[in-house]
Amino acid sequence: MGKELKRDLQTDVLVVGAGPAGCMAAMDLARQGINVLVADRSQFPREKVCGDGLLEDSLQILESVGLGSEVQQKAHPIRSILFVAPNGTECELEGNFLTLPRKDLDALLLEEACKAGAQFLGGITVSEPLVQNGVCAGALGLDEEGHEINITARLVLLATGANARIMRVFGVLQNRNHSAIGVRGYFRLTETIDESSMVVVYDKRILPGYGWMFPLGQGIFNVGCGIFLEGRKRMPRFGQNLTGFYKHIQPLARYLQMAEQIAPIRAAAMRTGFQGARACAPGILVLGEALGLTFPFIGEGISSALESGRIAASVALEALEKNDFTSRILARYEVDLRKRLDGRQQGYQAAQRLFRFKSFANLLIGKAARNPDVRKVARQIVLGERDPLDVFSLRGMLRVFLLRRKA
Ligand SMILES: Cc1cc2nc3c(=O)[nH]c(=O)nc-3n(C[C@H](O)[C@H](O)[C@H](O)COP(=O)(O)OP(=O)(O)OC[C@H]3O[C@@H](n4cnc5c(N)ncnc54)[C@H](O)[C@@H]3O)c2cc1C
């Protein structure tokens, strides 16, 4: 995918990080004929620690850029999510979801960006900004042999995920602490179990957080757990770096008794709640998880990363056209993003706080299991059609708990 490496490069837009956020911005810009260079410290395809789950909001964005059918072809279809409360009560929500290993999803997005004309440099670790008159004008990086590379750009899009160090050197970091930790591994199950349903388990030891088991097809499952750190006094004792989590969480332990582990358990940090970094600085826009866009409570971040890529590209186009890379133009990026994402970010933050209490989780999942109207509301939230604050606020909860089953 890469082109011949030169020590000094020049581009209109430098995108640092080839995850969903960076690739989406690069694709949109390249499709508009803009000169874009994407640099990533990894060669692609590369692994990314993730649950590999795509909810409907991600699919909608992928469809909007013409990638819906290609992703659907490669992905595994999911027809429902089974939620398991701390007391074991189960509630199933139907919907059209997908799973696709990030190795494949991110490679597909990068390939599309390159098809549109973006240039990819893999194995380049960006180390610091190039600054001219107080404005970021590109970046310095190191290739895999340790040679320095100098990339001059009119605008830099920082899409480096939860990597706080790089945000600090670019001067956009506000909080170095991450908000959650996630671990996942891949397992092959020998016995036949339903491969059209994702399982989400609210074990009382990981609240607020959950364990999951997401089918990828052909007996392979992504199994993991995510633990949110806000207000948490101690971590669960699931072995060093949580690597033994799946032996402690039911029903995962039961399902995995006869399973073969086919990839090691790996951990990654998450940055959530649209906080912890500045969205822009002169010559810089910050995208995706770098900007804390992964949703609290559900840990879903692919859709918001894609969305930030699209909005960043539209703001970048305006800045390039006006040749103005100050906050006068770039500030629109945060305004537009907040309009799109603030409601869900705040709603899921509230949900995360309430799910510290196992009694609340039992009550809500129990209510949804018994009452189709509550299930309908929950389904609309999961599908991104309804604001989570419609449930996870005082008024919302009163409404939900007063909903009676229709006779
Ligand atoms: C355990 C776990 C499970 C998750 N499950 C899901 C899920 O099922 N569904 C979902 O929607 N979300 C999930 N998420 C969240 C999702 O993974 C992130 O929100 C998403 O990857 C953010 O995309 P991004 O493009 O912002 O960053 P990333 O995907 O992290 O991409 C950042 C890129 O930047 C590169 N980079 C970093 N530093 C540098 C540097 N200095 N120089 C060059 N390149 C650099 C990295 O190599 C990487 O390729 C999960 C997260 C975790 C940790």
Asked if 338 and 274 count as a contact pair (C-beta separation under 8 A), the reply is yes
Residue 398 has pLDDT above 90, yes or no: no
Mean pLDDT (whole number) for 255-281:
95
Look up residue 1 and give its two tokens: 């995918």
- Residue 172's φ and ψ, nearest 5 degrees, are -115, 0
- Domains within the chain, CATH numbers bracketed: 8-48+104-177+273-351 (3.50.50.60), 77-99+180-270 (3.30.9.10), 358-402 (no CATH)
Nearest CA to ligand 1 atom 16: 301
Containing H/E element for 58? helix 56-64
Whether 300 lines ligand 1, by a CB cut-off of 6 Å, is yes
Residues 72, 75, 81, CA angle at the centre, nearest 5°?
100
CA gap 265, 262 in Å, rounded: 10
Percentage of the chain lying above the pLDDT 90 cut: 84
Q: Is the pLDDT assigned to residue 171 strictly greater than 90?
A: yes
Of 52, 158, 206, 300, the one to substitute when testing ligand 1's pocket (max ligand atoms within 8 A of C-beta) is 300
pLDDT at 406: 54
Q: How far apart are CA 155 and CA 169, in angstroms?
A: 16
Whether 158 is in the pocket of ligand 1, judged by its Cβ within 6 Å, is no
In the beta sheet, which residues pair with residue 266? 184
Decide whether any atom of ligand 1 lies within 6 Å of the 20 Cβ: yes
Alpha-carbon span 395 to 224, nearest angstrom: 33
Q: Ligand 1: which residue has its CA nearest to atom 5?
A: 51
∠ CA 224-228-234 to the nearest 5 degrees?
100
| Whether the CB of 14 sits within 6 Å of ligand 1 | no
Q: Which atom of ligand 1 is nearest to the CA of 222?
A: 8
pLDDT tens digits for range 345-362: 999 999 999 999 999 999
- Confirm or reject: Cβ of 178 under 6 Å from ligand 1: no
Ligand 1 centre from 333 Cα, in Å?
Answer: 20
State in Å: Cα 351 to ligand 1 middle: 23
The pTM for the full model equals: 0.96
Contact in structure between 68 and 56 (CB atoms under 8 Å): no
Q: Which amino acid is at 307?
A: E
What integer best gives the mean pLDDT of the chain?
93
Distance from the alpha carbon of residue 161 to the mean position of ligand 1, in angstroms: 5
Structural element, H or E, at residue 8: strand 8-16
- pLDDT per position as a tens digit, 58-107: 999 999 999 999 999 999 999 999 999 999 999 999 999 999 999 999 99
- pLDDT for the residue numbered 397: 81
Lowest mean pLDDT among 198-207, 286-295, 382-391: 382-391
Q: And the tokens for 138?
A: 């590109």
Report the share of the chain in percent with pLDDT over 70: 97
The more confidently predicted of residues 5 and 108 is 108
Place of tokens 């709603």: 347
Banded model confidence at residue 200, pLDDT cuts 50, 70, 90: very high
pLDDT at 371: 92
Confidence at 407, pLDDT banded by 50, 70, 90? very low
Q: Inform me whether the pLDDT recorded for 2 exceeds 50.
A: no
Q: What is the pLDDT confidence band of residue 338, given thresholds at 50, 70 and 90?
A: very high
Side chain identity, residue 228: F
The pLDDT, as a whole number, for residue 3 is 46
pLDDT at 147: 93
Is the model's pLDDT at 405 over the cut of 60? no
Residue 153 reports pLDDT greater than 80: yes
Residue 383 confidence (pLDDT):
83
- Residue 181, both tokens: 């930790």
Residues 6+ apart with CB under 8 A from 366: 85, 87, 89, 91
CA of 51 to the centre of ligand 1 (A): 11
**Ligand 1 centroid distance, CA of 287 (Å):** 11
When pLDDT is averaged across residues 14-21 and rounded to a whole number, the result is 98
Residue ID of nearest Cα to ligand 1 atom 35: 17
Mean pLDDT of 25-38: 98
* Ligand 1 atom nearest to 214, measured from its CA: 8
If one residue of 151, 163, 274 were mutated to test the ligand 1 pocket, choosing by the most ligand atoms within 8 A of its CB, it would be: 163
* pLDDT value of residue 6: 53
The residues, ordered by sequence, that sit 6+ positions from 243 with a Cβ below 8 Å of its Cβ are 183, 265
Looking from the CA of residue 52, the nearest atom of ligand 1 is 8
Starting at the edge strand that comes first in sequence, how are the strands of the sheet with 209-217 ordered? 53-54, 90-99, 76-84, 197-201, 209-217, 220-228, 180-188, 260-270
Residue 271 CA to ligand 1 centre (angstroms): 10
Cβ atoms of 373 and 405 closer than 8 Å: yes
pLDDT by residue (tens digit) across 374-392?
Answer: 999 888 888 888 888 888 8
pLDDT-derived band at 399 (thresholds 50, 70, 90) equals confident
Reply yes or no on whether the pLDDT at 209 is more than 70: yes
Residues 41, 33: Cα–Cα separation, whole Å: 25
Taking a C-beta distance cutoff of 8 angstroms, is the pair 199, 251 a contact?
yes
Amino acid 404: pLDDT: 64
Q: Which of 23, 48, 210 to mutate to test the pocket of ligand 1 (most atoms within 8 A of CB)?
A: 48
Helix (H, G, I), strand (E, B) or coil at 32: coil
**100: nearest Cα among 70, 66, 80:** 70
DSSP category for residue 355: T
CA of 86 to the centre of ligand 1 (A): 29
Q: What is the pLDDT of residue 392?
A: 86
Residue 311 has pLDDT above 90, yes or no: yes
pLDDT of 4 > 80? The answer is no
Determine the residue type at 360: F
Q: What is the CB-side half-sphere exposure of residue 374 using CA atoms within 13 A?
A: 23
Rg, the chain, Cα only: 21
User: Which atom of ligand 1 approaches the CA of 21 most closely?
Assistant: 25
State the pLDDT at residue 191: 76
C-beta neighbour count of 174 within 10 angstroms: 11
SS3 content of the chain, % helix, strand, coil (to 5): 35, 30, 35
Question: Nearest 5 degrees, angle CA 60-CA 65-CA 69?
Answer: 70
Task: Average the pLDDT over 132-142 and give the result.
Answer: 96
**Could you give the CA distance from residue 30 to residue 23 in angstroms, rounded to a whole number?**
10
